[in-house]
Amino acid sequence: MATATLETTAPVRDTFPINGTDYIEFYVGNARQAAHYYRAAFGFQLIGYRGPETGTRDRASYLLQQGKIRFVLTTAIRADLSPEARRIAEHVEMHGDGVRDIALWVDDARDAFQKAVERGAVPEREPIVARDDDGEVVIASFRIYGDTIHSLVERKNYRGLFMPGFRATAPHFAPSDVGLKYVDHCVGNVELGKMNDWVDFYARVMGFRNMLTFDDKTISTEYSSLMSKVMANGNDRIKFPINEPAKGKKKSQIDEYLEFYKGPGVQHMALATDDIIRSVTALRDRGVEFLSVPTTYYDELQGRVGRIDEPVDTLASLGILVDRDPDGYLLQIFTRPVEDRPTVFYEIIQRKGARSFGAGNFKALFEAIEREQELRGNL
């Protein structure tokens, strides 16, 4: 597994400063029930709400938080009342529940938006200022792959909970967290031949660099393959791997996603923890289902990654994968898709020195997905 190419050139200057992921917004069919799932199964807290009770009549949004991770789950209540609500309903009809917006936290949203558009981004929403008694938030958005967007969020003049329109909630049901801390990376699946277009987009528009490339020979099984390039921003806090299918004997998992999501979109989000054994144990106990790996994976583990702190038998019983990069190692595990369409899933990741990704796990993941694809009749 040595054919992944790690690019070592560091950026000279960050031409598109981003502080971090601000929130991830999902458009879903039933936000109230989806919120319950993320609270009960993933240990998120429901901290805010916007809907008819707060004066927004056409849609409802639930704001969930765990560590620095913020999810917004939004549904249309009356698609006939506004173009915005109609767009939400159409998104859900087309894609199923899915990610609409990977929102990025910036110091100056107007400036970032202007730069992005000058460099070729397609605007979705011009900068608007949302105000309430706690100050103001400036937000603007541009389009990325499929129906997905990046919002740019400036909140330096805001002291409120999240954003004007949201009301704080303090529900009786408040399950304990599972130790999830921040969004490590968000992966996009795009059509055959489009990966490099999006790699170029992130480089040109947002000054990202290609930190790692997996070619179709690295990530291939007997049946199918994919290609992936990891794009990272100036401070390496934001990583957007882009996958595209590659030709194989059978249908690639990326093709399956594209077919069921009806186009490109976010495939998985990786949520970081400081204690993956604790987090994964808790998630499993609450009903989150993970992909399994063959026990032979662990027979070869020590030879492949060397000494690690965690007991291998515990990792094997939970199905946690281990990989190395030049700086250290990482532990990761992948959930099954979290909805009926085989589209969006999650990764739980713990980094112990490693800043990028290893190729060995990618292949193990790919084979695990393929076993499930076969059960679905989509291989």
Binding residues for Fe ion, rule: CB under 5 A, are: 270, 347
The per-type count for the chain, helices as H runs and strands as E runs, is: 10, 18
User: 183-193: buried (b, 16+ CB within 10 Å) or exposed (e) per residue?
Assistant: bbbbbbbbbee
Give the tokens for residue 230.
Answer: 């990891």
Contact (Cβ atoms closer than 8 angstroms) between residue 226 and residue 219: yes
Residue 160's SS3 state is coil
Q: In whole angstroms, how close is the CB of 60 to Fe ion at the nearest point?
A: 30
Q: Cβ atoms within 10 A of the Cβ of 221, count? A: 17
Which CB sits closer to Fe ion, 26 or 334? Answer: 334
Cβ closest to Fe ion, residue 177 vs residue 347: 347
Select 74 or 356, whichever has its Cβ closest to Fe ion: 356
Residue with Cβ nearer Fe ion (58 or 347): 347
**d(Cα 76, Cα 372) in Å, to the nearest integer?**
32
* Contact yes or no for 75/58 (Cβ under 8 A): no
Q: How far is the CB of 239 from Fe ion (least distance, A)?
A: 9
Report CA Rg, the chain. 20
Question: Distance (Å, rounded) from C-alpha 72 to C-alpha 149?
Answer: 14
Shortest distance, position 226 Cβ to Fe ion, whole Å:
13
- Grouping H, G, I as helix, E, B as strand and the rest as coil, residue 255 is helix
CA distance 225 to 242: 14
For residues 116 and 266, which CB has a smaller minimum distance to Fe ion in the complex?
266
CA-closest candidate to residue 365, choices 322, 309, 303: 322
Give the bridge partners for 138, in sequence order.
Answer: 129, 154
Minimum distance, C-beta of residue 151 to Fe ion, in the bound complex (Å): 22
Minimal distance, residue 177 CB to Fe ion, in Å:
21
Instruction: Extract the runs of DSSP E, i.e. beta strands, from the chain.
Output: 5-6, 20-27, 45-50, 59-66, 69-76, 98-105, 123-132, 135-143, 149-154, 167-168, 180-189, 209-214, 225-232, 239-246, 265-273, 321-325, 328-334, 345-352
Is the Cβ of residue 323 or residue 347 nearer to Fe ion in the bound state? Answer: 347
Q: How far is the CB of 238 from Fe ion (least distance, A)?
A: 14
Shortest Å distance, C-beta 187 to Fe ion:
5
Cβ closest to Fe ion, residue 166 vs residue 362: 362
Which lies closer to Fe ion via its Cβ, residue 205 or residue 348? 348
- Compute the least distance from the CB of residue 357 to Fe ion, in Å: 7
3-state secondary structure 48-102: EEECHHHCCCCEEEEEEEECCEEEEEEEECCCCCCHHHHHHHHHHHHHCCEEEEE
Question: Which of 99, 103, 125 has the alpha carbon at shortest distance from 27?
Answer: 99
Cβ nearer to Fe ion, comparing 142 with 362: 362
Residue 186 Cβ vs Fe ion, minimum distance, rounded to whole Å: 9
